[in-house]
């Protein structure tokens, strides 16, 4: 009888409160990350806007002469995407439609989203919308917006000792 009790004692696990607190901390980190850091699905927002439209995830970066926007819009056709620039606000919107509806059986998963998407972005610099170019290939929209002349970087030379100020020249990018 004594041997059986000794073997049962060997199987006891000692509780380590710090180990459990660490797992609680990891669970809280995951909760906040899912709620605030990564609430978006493949189209953008988990819930969309108040009209049910999904937001569009984008990358926006600046080069010497232009702003470049890239957006992933899989399954779209170029003619279904509407792009406008008004002042310093760029708007991209469109409508995705389901190819077919299954009338037989039940869905086990339906993760592909259909409906409207919409995104407005305030541009960080002035652009010339008349020179904008949009290209769509393999589900990626690439929009090039040339900067307005007043938004381009200028090099200002520093004069030394003389009263004549040097001329301002454009910075070659």
The number of residues in the chain equals 173
Domain assignments of the chain as residue spans, ordered by start: 54-98+111-150
Residues 6+ apart with CB under 8 A from 97: 114
Give per-residue pLDDT as tens, 80-132.
899 999 988 999 998 877 666 666 677 777 666 677 888 899 999 899 999 99
Give per-residue pLDDT as tens, 26-36.
777 777 666 65
Decide: 113 and 33 in contact? Cβ < 8 Å.
no
Burial of 141 (0-12, 13-18, 19+ CB in 10 A): buried
pTM exceeding 0.85: no
Rounded Cα–Cα distance for residues 72 and 138 (Å): 9
Q: CATH says 54-98+111-150 is which class?
A: mainly beta
């Amino acid at each position: 009888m004594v041997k059986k009790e000794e073997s049962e004692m060997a199987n006891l696990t000692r509780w380590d409160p710090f180990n459990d607190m660490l797992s609680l901390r990891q669970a809280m980190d995951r909760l906040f990350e899912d709620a605030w850091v990564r609430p978006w699905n493949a189209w953008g927002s988990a819930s969309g806007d108040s009209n049910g439209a999904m937001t569009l995830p984008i990358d926006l970066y600046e080069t010497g002469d232009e702003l470049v926007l890239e957006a992933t819009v899989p399954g779209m056709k170029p003619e279904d995407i509407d792009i406008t620039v008004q002042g310093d606000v760029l708007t991209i919107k469109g409508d995705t439609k389901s190819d077919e509806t299954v009338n037989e059986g039940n869905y086990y998963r339906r993760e592909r989203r259909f409906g409207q998407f919409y995104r407005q972005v305030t541009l960080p610099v002035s652009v010339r919308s008349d020179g904008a170019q949009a290209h769509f290939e393999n589900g990626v929209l690439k929009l090039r917006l040339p900067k307005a002349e007043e938004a381009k970087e200028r090099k200002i030379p520093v004069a030394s000792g003389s009263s004549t100020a040097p001329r301002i020249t454009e910075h070659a990018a």
